[in-house]
Amino acid sequence: MLKLYDFQEACVRQGMNPRHPETDDRSFLIGDDMGLGKTVEAITLDQMKRKKHNCSYSAQTLVVTQTSVMGAWESHYKEWAPWLKVKVINRKNRNEFVAALKARNGRGLPEYHVFVCHWQVLRFIAEDINLVNWFHIIGDEIHNIKNRKAQQTQAFKKLKTYYKTGLSGTWADNRPDDAWSVLNWLWPKTFSSYWGFFNHHVLQKKHNEGYCLADECGKSHKRPFTEIVGVHDQQLIHSRMGWGYIRRTKEEVWKDIPEKTYEDRVVELDPKQRRTYDMMAKDMLAWVGAHEDQPVAAPAVISQLVRLQQFAVAYGKMELVYKNGAPLHQLVLDEPSSKLDAVMDIIGATNEQIVVFGQSKQAINLLAARLEKAGVSFGVLTGDTKQADRDQYIEKFQSGRLRVFCSTIKAGGVGITLTAATICVFLDRAWSPSANRQAEDRLHRLGQKNAVLILTLVARETIDRQRNDKIEMKWTWLKSILTPQKG
């Protein structure tokens, strides 16, 4: 039977009785560190609130989250509240989701109890979602509404609900005034005025035109401007939030959590990716059919499956190249990539250092290009990395000067220490279980003071889910893995 850790139970107890006089105890912000189970805490809160009002099967909950974790929410609800029926939006068919909002069963009760959609779709279906009088809205990674003028923020704030729960360990991660929009959604009476919040809580420094006389500046500017430099009276903000806010770090709850935790993040392939993946799978099935009366050659089969697995990581295309004068079909990975979308979401959801492993050097290089464009500091370790650069990247990462360490499992899975990070993301897994464990233990080793979270990205309806750790080379097994089950 599933059971919450003690610190998670404490969160649920507080969430059921946040004692905030301005909002009738109906808003709650969970600011726990990544990896401490905010999703499970929110789902348990949802169950408890339904039980309190005796509306388990009549109330409707909306979860708004990142595209990359919609599948994770569905899976967690199935684990922790299997009696609730969950509807996840289909990125290719919004109308199905909209129709489900209105669906009723034979007793006139809602057909679905929980709806999961992503932030970007809100402004397109806001009118339909707004027709529902929601019992509970859960805003996952609630910092997505920090821009008070953004269309998705405005669409989200128009939704009617009895309970509000926000989740984010970084809800005020950039400018201090970004926090206002989140607080305004949760407690609109308490935090009603943006400029009132800005003028009282945001510290500013005014810079002069020409030689600047501002403290510790001493530079020359073409025009005057104001720089935001910090937060004033943070204690007042927290006191006004009351018990409606809870935050715990890994260090605080270390005794309550296991040394290494695992989580799968289910992602939906981009439509362009899906088309090429399905074509590749069909070609491989034809290849199996042509060879199934022959003995199985394990290396040849594994190389075929690895290639298919790469199509689940990023869009792939076969190009004809010539090596030593001989024609050779070579796989080239390119954008789009739903898994790289998920990695960027994970990076944006925390301020912690992160290690990303994958089998393909091309996928790691695609990630590096994204990080460079986003202005995120990173190091890359593949078979092409020079030893001097390799040592420098590791040293910079361990000293906190690099935010993300990107590596192939083969190049970085052994012999190095990456204990500066507590989050490890796998774009895909190696076919060798020991190689995966070795890679995980770059973080989880002597010198690591915190729990390590291992996130594996799983593309829905691909070989990612069906794959076994121990490969049995049988044609029947190959056919089943190439035709994955739905869901």
Please, what are the averages of pLDDT over each run of 10 residues along the chain (487 residues)? Answer: 87 83 75 84 96 94 87 89 94 90 92 95 92 95 90 94 91 73 92 88 78 73 72 79 84 72 90 90 76 58 79 86 72 92 94 95 96 96 87 93 95 86 93 79 82 92 68 44 41
Rounded distance between C-alpha atoms, residue 425 and residue 418, angstroms:
13
Residue 249: C-alpha distances to residues 7, 37, 319 (Å) = 11, 12, 48
Rounded distance between C-alpha atoms, residue 245 and residue 333, angstroms:
44
Rounded distance between C-alpha atoms, residue 479 and residue 394, angstroms:
42
Strand partners, 226: 206
> Measuring CA to CA, which residue among 138, 184, 164, 183 is closest to residue 26?
164
Strand partners, 88: 116
Residue 233's identity, in one-letter code, is D
Res 288: pLDDT: 67
Rounded distance between C-alpha atoms, residue 361 and residue 265, angstroms:
21
Instruction: Judge whether 274 and 302 are in contact, CB under 8 Å.
Output: no
* Positive or negative: CA dihedral 445, 451, 457, 460: positive
Instruction: Judge whether 280 and 463 are in contact, CB under 8 Å.
Output: no
All domains of the chain in start order, with CATH: 6-251 (3.40.50.10810), 258-487 (3.40.50.300)
Rounded distance between C-alpha atoms, residue 272 and residue 244, angstroms:
43
Res 337: pLDDT: 94
Q: Which conformational region is residue 365 in: left (phi greater than 0), alpha (psi within -120 to 50 degrees), or beta?
A: alpha
Res 229: pLDDT: 67
Decide: pTM greater than 0.75. Answer: no
